[in-house]
Structure 1
Amino acid sequence: MHHWANDFVRALEAESESGPRVTPEATLTEALGRLRTAASLAILLDYDGTLVPIVNTPEQAAPDADLLDLIAALARRPRTVVQMVSGRSRETLETWFGELSIGLWAEHGIWFRAAAGSTWESAVDVSCAWMPDVRATMERFTLATPGSRIEEKTSSIAWHYRQVGREFGRLQARELRIALSRELRDVPLDIIEGKRVLEVRPRGASKAAVVQRLLSHETPPSVILALGDDRTDEEMFTALPPTGISIHVGPAVSLAMHRLRDSAATRAFLSGLLV
């Protein structure tokens, strides 16, 4: 179990009673003030659900011109570094954001590219010998679950069921997780649940690696801002130092300090850094 899991469960129990609340505007304004005056700032951005709405198929979520302009402007901000930290593949991130002066992290922290034009590197030891067996198991469930689909990346593989009926999708995802847990019990892999997606990735891959890499620099940023909407982003939030600011996007349970309503609110908040 991940180190943050117990706290996550306690947060789930607490929020189930009253429901999550969006952070008041006055509190967000105070956070923006801290960020604007930071001696140096690192901005860690999840993509799907954070900067763009969740859509039925991943291919429909390409960034629009306004978003690209916003990210480019943040990257030009003095004493600021921007890191895109996504579950997307290297190829997709390179296609969408490759020309921007930002760092890219693909497949939830497995691969990273430090800057535009630099070489992609692996953050963990990558072996894909396990992937054919996992794909075969996922294919069985795909055949039995109309509307589901498999997304195979270079070092991880995901089973999406966003277009499956909610209850049937949850049931099938639970059964798939059980099947994979049995199949992979002696293999160093993690099974990660996201928003109507189940993903298998090498153990040790984590969005927390982005924070750890920043903190390992000789002069780490004085403030790290992290924004995300999914369970994989909780790893990033809990790795932040006490000076960090974490923001969850959307209604799901989270350990983050603050909460924004949706991706439009995320863009508005980030635009506040450019004032």
Structure 2
Amino acid sequence: MPAADDVTAVDRHTDLHEPVLAWFDVHARDLPWRSPRCSAWGVLVSEIMLQQTPVVRVLPRWRAWLARWPAPADLAAADTAEVLTAWDRLGYPRRALRLKEAAQAIVDRHDGQVPADPQALRALPGIGEYTAAAVASFAFGIPETVVDTNVRRVIARAVTGIGLPGASLTRAEMRLAQALMPARTDRANRWNAAVMELGALVCTARAPRCDHCPLRERCAWRAAGSPAAQTPARRQAWAGTDRQVRGAIMAAVRADGSVDREGLAAAVAKTGRLGSHRPAPAQWDRALAGLLDDGLLTDQDGRLTFPR
């Protein structure tokens, strides 16, 4: 049960469901993983790919991935080097390794079928609370409460009246999100998707389109005068970081199949992925050591390759 203060907040906002769901009926993007024909595996793949990666970049990779590996058993049997190559420029390539491990676990534990049980989903490698809840809700119609950054932002503004949520999901936030779920299962699952979409398209972090929001007349944040967020939106640094160098190294190996360790800088330069950045020797060493430690690259007698 939600705490008393959470219940009070929900009592004041029982009129949120209808406008959000009606807005979603009109404005929801036509995404392939939302299709009733999409498999649970397709939903799982989409959720992994969409972590910290925008939809526009995910769409072509998701389609190619499902065409190549339409079921968990297909990915489980795939060569790791092939998987990392297919991940292409989605970023955070450890997700590709975790997805392959999850596929193998699905084959080993669940006869090759993505499990519907949320606890079984959480037990898969690389599957956290959010992903398990999202797959249960969107693939199987089990009304788990799905709370990502977009959902947190909509609830923070519309219900609690603050500009942005804190850096980490709190228990109070989770209780409130659970309490806001519609009672009917079908509406609860659609609510999950609708609030997420509202945060992605309208209630954005830096430039919310309040005039287009279905909650503009009910939003506690607007009623309070849209006060500045106490927690400013964080911009993820990229240029000049180890992440940029790691990505460039991966791109060089992806392009050539293998790269001589001594000629790494020259191979990376050919990709153009570093722009004007020129890493110091210590950064090259640090980035390469991280890729080797993460199992994303192997060193075969001085040749850097993807693992097999």
TM-score strictly above 0.5? no
Higher strand residue share? 1
Give the structure, 1 or 2, with the largest relative contact order (CA under 8 Å, sep 6 or more). 1
Give the structure with higher Rg (CA): 2
Which category of TM-score, normalised to the shorter sequence, fits these structures?
Answer: under 0.3
TM-score (norm. length: structure 1): 0.24
